[in-house]
Amino acid sequence: MQVQETFYEEVRRKGISRRDFLRFCLLTTAYLGLESTMFSKVVRALESKPRPPIYWLNFAACTCCTESLIRSSHPLISDVILSMISLDYMETIQVAAGHQAEEIVWEGMKKNFGNYILAVEGSVPTKDNGVYCTVGGMTALEYIKKASRGAKAIISVGSCSSFGCVTTAHPNPTGCKPIYKIITDKPVVNIPGCPPIAEVIVGTIVHLITFDTLPELDALKRPKVFYGQRIHDKCYRRAFFDAGMFVEKFDDEGARKGWCLYKVGCRGPVTYNACSVVKWNEGTSFPIQSGHPCLGCSEPDYWDNRPLYQHVADVPLPGFATADEIGKGFAIGVAVATGAHLVASIVKKATQKVKEEKKEQKEE
């Protein structure tokens, strides 16, 4: 019986140094929010545990999630990650095609029944028995039901498979549904984003390999470690929001000075994701940092949350009033503070004058 390679054996065979391997483990430990003492456990897991077979299925989507993963500029993501997860089936990059490809996937799932991970990109059309998306002669609806039977866990990669995204937007003519609404008897973790950050995808997989369980999830089945805070909470423009300094239109003075983008449609205050922390392209930037408002792509039904690029005045912010009210409150606060400062100055001068008069009387 052939022994399956571990991740470490694979990367060493491909010429990756021990130093780079440890750096990858350290970064992943940090991304997962684990204590430093857990670093050695991550290292041991990737050194000793067999790489889990992963079958990456593509349904109703644009493939941006695949592009995000394989085009990551981080060398240990872009060059090694496909080896780490033992990717046995991925339509976008695999060499096999047609009947050969389908034979590989079904034979592999039979061989690894109960031990493989299913990564799904795209939602599943259900109207008219799912005829609007077919793979290998089967509808996507039939395909996902059959493929999920022996899956250890299912990872919904991207907003289409997690919540529906554009494919379920009104009027949803093909009856698309996210994976968790179709498969209810298997552990499902959602990694939303259009596309999601590559390090978030990898971190979730590494957690599953290391601890043999999915990370702690929120009410929407998202890993809390990556989706536990609003983008707004860690946004470098937060100070401008608190001060009531908003961009009113693109390319105005506020936009050039980097003020808060909430009034031009930014959904950062109501969107949970790691964009403002992990960022993109080796931590270089994220949409808000480049001057583009967050569209809330990791939240359910974001595509129908319109109008985009426009301030929705009646959208309340958690723990805050609306942006308009914050602006008004800031103006009132400034006026009150100015008035208080004026009164304080007058009192101070009057007190000083009284002291001087008393001093003069004593000297006489």
Residue 1 is assigned to a structural domain of this protein? no
**Sequential pLDDT tens for the chain (364 residues):** 455 778 788 778 778 788 888 888 888 888 787 888 889 988 988 888 877 788 999 999 999 888 887 766 554 555 555 555 567 788 887 777 888 889 889 999 999 999 999 999 999 999 999 999 999 999 999 999 999 999 999 999 999 999 999 999 999 999 999 999 999 999 999 999 999 998 888 888 888 888 888 899 999 999 999 999 999 999 999 999 999 999 999 989 999 999 999 999 999 999 999 999 988 877 889 999 999 999 999 999 988 887 888 876 555 554 555 555 554 554 444 344 435 544 555 555 556 665 666 666 665 5
Residue 232 marked as a ligand binder: yes
Same domain, 223 and 237: no
The total number of structural domains that make up the chain: 3
pLDDT of residue 66: 86
Give the end of a domain, one of 210, 227, 244: 227
Residue 348, C-beta contacts closer than 8 angstroms, at least 6 positions apart: none
pLDDT of residue 338: 39
Give the end of a domain, one of 227, 247, 279: 227
pLDDT of residue 30: 82
| DSSP labels, 14-52 | TT--HHHHHHHHHHHHHHTT--GGGHHHHHHHHHHSBPP
Place of tokens 């041991």: 44
Six token digits for residue 30: 């940090």
pLDDT of residue 299: 95
Same domain, 93 and 122: yes
Q: Which of 145, 84, 156, 153 is nearest to 114 (CA)?
A: 153
Same domain, 303 and 362: no
Residue 235 marked as a ligand binder: yes
CA distance 70 to 121: 14
CA distance 108 to 191: 25
Residue 133 marked as a ligand binder: no
Residue 319 is assigned to a structural domain of this protein? no
Q: Write phi, then psi, for 322 (nearest 5 degrees).
A: -75, 170
CA distance 196 to 199: 9
Residue 266 marked as a ligand binder: yes
Same domain, 41 and 168: yes
Same domain, 21 and 112: yes
3-state helix, strand and coil shares in percent for the chain, rounded to the nearest 5:
50, 15, 40
Same domain, 117 and 185: yes
Residue 353 is assigned to a structural domain of this protein? yes
Residue 156 is assigned to a structural domain of this protein? yes
* DSSP 8-state assignment for residue 219: T
Residue 194 marked as a ligand binder: yes
CA distance 301 to 24: 34
Answer for the pair 95, 102: CB distance below 8 angstroms, yes or no: no
pLDDT of residue 19: 87
Residue 171, C-beta contacts closer than 8 angstroms, at least 6 positions apart: none
Residue 2 is assigned to a structural domain of this protein? no
Report angle CA 205, 290, 233 to the nearest 5 degrees: 60
Give the CATH number for residue 155.
3.40.50.700
Give the CATH number for residue 291.
4.10.480.10
Same domain, 223 and 261: no
Same domain, 193 and 156: yes
CA distance 305 to 52: 38
Same domain, 333 and 282: no
Answer for the pair 121, 69: CB distance below 8 angstroms, yes or no: no
pLDDT of residue 330: 43
Residue 64 marked as a ligand binder: no
Residue 81 is assigned to a structural domain of this protein? yes
Same domain, 299 and 181: no
Q: Which of 273, 210, 261 is nearest to 6 (CA)?
A: 210
CA distance 346 to 350: 6
pLDDT of residue 209: 81
Residue 260 marked as a ligand binder: yes
Residue 139 is assigned to a structural domain of this protein? yes
What does pTM read for this prediction?
A: 0.79
Q: Write phi, then psi, for 285 (nearest 5 degrees).
A: -165, 180
Same domain, 271 and 364: no
The domain of 282 spans 232-314
CB-based burial label for 316 (10 Å; 0-12, 13-18, 19+): exposed
pLDDT of residue 117: 92
The count of C-alpha atoms lying within 13 angstroms of the C-alpha of 230, restricted to the half-sphere facing its C-beta, is 15
Same domain, 61 and 157: yes
pLDDT of residue 101: 86
Angstrom distances, CA of residue 214 to CA of 34, 169, 184, 322: 14, 29, 16, 36
Residue 62 marked as a ligand binder: yes
Residue 65 is assigned to a structural domain of this protein? yes
